[in-house]
Amino acid sequence: MQKHTKLGWIGLGVMGGAMCQHLMAAGYPMSIFTRSKEKASELMQNGAQWCDTPLEITAQSDIVFTMVGMESEVRDVYFSADGLFHTTINNKIFIDMGTTAPSLALEMAQYAEQHGAHCIDAPVSGGDVGARNASLSIMAGGDENIIRQVMPLFEYLGRVQIMGEAGSGQHTKMCNQIVVAGTMIGVCEALLYARHAQLNGETLLAAIRQGAAGCWTLDNLAPRVIKQDFAPGFMVDHFIKDLGIALHESEAMGLNLPGLSLVKSLYEKVRDAGHGKKGTQALLFALDNYSEDAR
């Protein structure tokens, strides 16, 4: 990938800012847009060019990355009157790295193809830690030749796996979130058990993380729970959105996933208690209250 290739980036939240910075550090010219211009100040000081609309990002860029939260925001960024697609897009590549419905990913890819462009769905896993350390897991769906063309850019962000046609990346992310959801219950319930058994939390982690219980959540989020640190690596509100997509897709395929339904209902309790902007480790609040109610 030539270093004179002009990149655009939309979405500078918990993960997006660090991801964008990695590409800038690699020497690529960058145009940026996000809802809150204040979030862009550090990147602008480092040389990024501010754009007032997504449409302007398209005009300034050869390849555009998006990393926004809710499906309505994704649709607005791409399809609104000042969106990425509301101008000539011939020969441009769009890469959506957020998590959205596979059906929307397919719609975006089809629109891009009809207008001489390409759109890849490439959601990621790894949270704020993975974004900062450029160690994200990237799950890519779309034209394999185009994915391979932009592979050098992905390598500045983490490791990519080509999953298949458009929408396949998002389906893979749903599998990822189903695993994360179940794992998060196990980790939080284990920490609750340890507390009531009067075990030292840090010693507990040292004892079990090297065995069969070892996992990313245990390594990265369990220590935050022990420290009562519920700052978001990935927000509860966004996780509820993802679990809703996974349940909708499961139902469309005739699947019944009761564990997933349970986790979603528990996270909704967390949100309803006012913790929607906290990290997914805040599931502890719902489980702790559930235990209190049981007594």
Dist. CA 126–CA 112, nearest whole Å: 28
Region of residue 76 (left: phi > 0; alpha: psi -120 to 50; beta: else): alpha
Determine the 3-state secondary structure of 201 from DSSP: helix
Which of 3, 37, 39, 173 is the catalytic position? 173
Dist. CA 130–CA 124, nearest whole Å: 9
State the Rg of the chain over Cα: 20
**Residue 2 neighbours by CB distance under 10 Å:** 8
The H-or-E segment that residue 124 falls in is strand 124-125
SS (H, E, C) 13-76: CCCHHHHHHHHHHCCCCEEEECCCHHHHHHHHHCCCEECCCHHHHHHHCCEEEECCCCHHHHHH
22 alpha carbon, distance to own chain's centre: 16
Dist. CA 94–CA 87, nearest whole Å: 13
Give me the torsion for CA of 65, 70, 72, 74, rounded to 10°. Answer: 10
Residue 146 main-chain phi, psi, to 5 deg: -70, -40
Dist. CA 17–CA 15, nearest whole Å: 6
Determine the 3-state secondary structure of 39 from DSSP: helix
Annotated catalytic residue 173: yes
Take residue 98 and report the two structure tokens written for it. 């957020």
What length is written for the chain? 295
Q: Which residues are catalytic?
A: 173
